[in-house]
Amino acid sequence: MWWRSDGLPGRALFSSDRTDGVSVAAEKLSGEIQEHGYWGGVRDRIPLAQTDRLDPSGELSLETDPSTGLVTIRPHGNLCLIRSGQDWTETDGDERRMYLEDVEPLLHAGMDFLRDDGLEIGCYANRYLRVTTDDGVETDKSFGMSWWRSLEDLETWSESHPTHVAIFRAALKYLSTMGLDARLRLYHEVTVTEAGQQDFRYLGCHDRTGMLRTRPS
């Protein structure tokens, strides 16, 4: 595994030396690491987490501009963002079949759960997306991106919720079967943001769009 360590906000972990997402802006990777695949590992890669629990601070706030209908949601402190990517471009044969038939459906189900029912476990919003070319043709790449009330809520889902346990078990079976020959490429980016570092703006959107579903009924 490789770990980006150039000082950009958050941390990213890759299964190869190819960057993706925000990490393409990084100057370098830290090199291969062995410490991976255990619960709580993400905190070991966020320096502040060594002295701070990164619990939520403050409250979400919502403002509506009566003249335009623009809704702005400003998150509380320590909102957690994770972006997890999958690239099966170079897979073929049994490996490709195993990923698309045994792993991806469980990943899709977990992403759907977070999208539809994740609010009750601390997932404010989730999207599972297929990467396309500039002219709209689907590629063999996807990623899930979700915003969480806290890093702890994300950790709890990852460690114990049935939807993620199913994903994790299928992925372990896949990787143990393929071993070092696996050509599936994976990455995780995790960021914990301070209050005021981002806001979310919506115009003409239904009330389940993104962070809008966090507002009181």
Pairing, β 29-32 against β 61-64:
unpaired
> What sign does the dihedral 156-159-161-167 (CA atoms) show?
positive
Distances in Å between the alpha carbon of 174 and those of 2, 52, 99, 104, 171?
A: 20, 35, 7, 11, 5
- As annotated, the active-site residues are 188
**Closest of 112, 53, 83, 70 to residue 188, by C-alpha:** 83
Instruction: Phi first, then psi: give them for residue 84, nearest 5 degrees.
Output: -120, 125
From CA 168, how far away is CA 88, in angstroms rounded? Answer: 17
> What sign does the dihedral 31-183-169-54 (CA atoms) show?
positive
144: helix, coil or strand? strand
Q: Exposed, middle or buried, 67 (CB in 10 Å: 0-12/13-18/19+)?
A: exposed
Six token digits for residue 176: 């143990």
